[in-house]
Amino acid sequence: MVDSITVSVKELHAYGVSVLTSIGMNKQDALTIADKLVLTDSWGTFTHGNKLLGDYVTRLQAGGTNPLGRPRIVSEGPAWAIVDGDNAAGQVGCDFAMRKAIELAKLAGISYVGVKNTSHFGAAGVYPAMAAEANMIGLAMANDIPSVCAPGSRKAVMGTNPLAYSIPAGEHPPILLDIATSTVAGGKVYAALQRGETIPTDWIIDSDGNPTTDGSLYPLKAALAPMTGHKGYGMALLHENLAGVLTGASISWQVLNWIFDDKTKPTGHGAAFIVINPEAMMPLDKFFQRVDDLINEIHNSPTVNEIEHLLVPGEMEWKRREAALIKGINMPSDVVSKMRDLDNQIGLNTHWLN
């Protein structure tokens, strides 16, 4: 196993852009993808950052993802739109969709934008973060090939179908939650396996429906467990409808696995974004103050042991990002290994990976 590496945000971003432009992607789309992968790594969510870049490149080079895809609006109304992602990289189509959702919410107060014909969109949280930067509340969700069982099932029924939301504040960073509707994201199973670690008993079930600690069984001979049982299953089903059924995207087993299935074919993923403009309902400074008051109340709640104060979702991630912008990002060894393999494959000879 290689050692971890600390790299600056600027250098990591330049690496991503260089990789993607070297295989024929235009610079603007490369910048969009690099922005989101680096933001994810700076939060410390390494399973969904630059670790995935090599797999994205493989699918782009094979033709399953269109490196020159141009997302476009195929239908819209005063507060909604449907986007055809043109099988571009997931981050490209979904960035386009979230920007449209923000634009619509400025006018209508609230908006829904769905995306079809897209691919794996990375960490869901990067899209609500865009809304928060525009002083709006944002939600993002997506569907995926089934990899998560339902209560009582012996095989996968739903995808990990993530949900993320962000709520801007005044004196505090935005509240930010990004969760899979499974107990853990599938990427955490792969990461544990690559590090030679045993996984907890509540992460996956085997083909007989029994809990197992053998991460090598996933995904072909095992399924992820749903988050909190029927509750996670119910949320995943909602996301399947909003991101898959309503958008016209592929649903359930029609969606291809973006890593393991035929890399020459589109995966057919769907995604959905909802944006709420608080300023349409109350003065923005009043909204910020109310969010700050809520966060302060949570911070001041009694704690156990030596915990300084309770955290709100996203607080740790924004602190990590703040530190990363100054000190760089410490990339774990499994991520460095994947990036080094990709660097050698393309022949970039990135100095901090050698």
Give domain status of residue 107, yes or no: yes
Does residue 56 sit in the same domain as residue 179?
A: no
Give domain status of residue 22, yes or no: yes
- Average pLDDT for 3-23: 97
Does residue 4 sit in the same domain as residue 93?
A: no
pLDDT of residue 265: 98
* % the chain with pLDDT above 70: 100
Q: How many CA atoms lie within 13 A of 33 on its CB side?
A: 30
Give domain status of residue 298, yes or no: no
Instruction: Judge whether residue 107 has pLDDT over 80.
Output: yes
* CATH (domain of 43): 1.10.1530.10
| Structural domain ending residue among the three candidates 220, 253, 280 | 280
Q: How confident is the model at residue 241 (pLDDT cuts 50, 70, 90)?
A: very high
pLDDT of residue 296: 97
- Phi and psi at 203, nearest 5°, equal -85, -45
DSSP string, 114-148: EEEEE-----TTHHHHHHHHTTSEEEEEE--S--E
**Mean pLDDT across the chain, nearest whole number?**
96
Q: Which domain holds residue 52?
A: 1-62+315-354
* CATH (domain of 221): 3.30.1370.60
Q: What is the pLDDT of residues 280-309, one digit of tens each?
A: 999 999 999 999 999 999 999 999 988 889
Instruction: Judge whether residue 191 has pLDDT over 90.
Output: no
Strands 110-118 and 269-276: antiparallel
The alpha helices in the chain, defined as continuous H runs, are: 9-22, 27-43, 53-62, 90-108, 126-133, 186-194, 230-240, 284-299, 315-327, 333-346
pLDDT of residue 294: 98
Q: How confident is the model at residue 1 (pLDDT cuts 50, 70, 90)?
A: low
Instruction: Judge whether residue 108 has pLDDT over 70.
Output: yes
Does residue 204 sit in the same domain as residue 324?
A: no
Instruction: Judge whether residue 195 has pLDDT over 90.
Output: no
pLDDT of residue 305: 86
- Average pLDDT for 131-148: 98
- Average pLDDT for 332-340: 95
Does residue 8 sit in the same domain as residue 83?
A: no
| Structural domain ending residue among the three candidates 254, 280, 306 | 280
| CA angle 278–73–167, rounded 5-degree value | 20
Does residue 98 sit in the same domain as residue 20?
A: no
Does residue 52 sit in the same domain as residue 80?
A: no
Does residue 18 sit in the same domain as residue 156?
A: no
Does residue 233 sit in the same domain as residue 208?
A: yes
Does residue 116 sit in the same domain as residue 223?
A: yes
Q: What is the pLDDT of residues 37-53, one digit of tens each?
A: 999 999 999 999 999 99
Question: Which of 70-74, 95-99, 136-140, 194-198 has the least mean pLDDT?
Answer: 194-198
Give domain status of residue 271, yes or no: yes
Q: What is the pLDDT of residues 143-170, one digit of tens each?
A: 999 999 999 898 999 999 999 999 999 9
| Count of other CB atoms within 10 angstroms of residue 127 | 30
Q: How confident is the model at residue 220 (pLDDT cuts 50, 70, 90)?
A: confident
Give Cα separations from 269 to 105, 118, 148 (angstroms): 24, 5, 16
Q: How far is CA 330 from the centre of its chain?
A: 20
Domain count, the chain: 2
- Average pLDDT for 12-31: 97
Strands 148-149 and 110-118: unpaired
Give domain status of residue 178, yes or no: yes
Give domain status of residue 213, yes or no: yes
pLDDT of residue 188: 87
Does residue 233 sit in the same domain as residue 97?
A: yes
Does residue 207 sit in the same domain as residue 268?
A: yes
Q: Which residue has the tokens 């955490």?
A: 188
- Average pLDDT for 90-108: 98
H-helix or E-strand spanning residue 176: strand 175-179
Give domain status of residue 297, yes or no: no
Give domain status of residue 303, yes or no: no
Q: How confident is the model at residue 190 (pLDDT cuts 50, 70, 90)?
A: confident
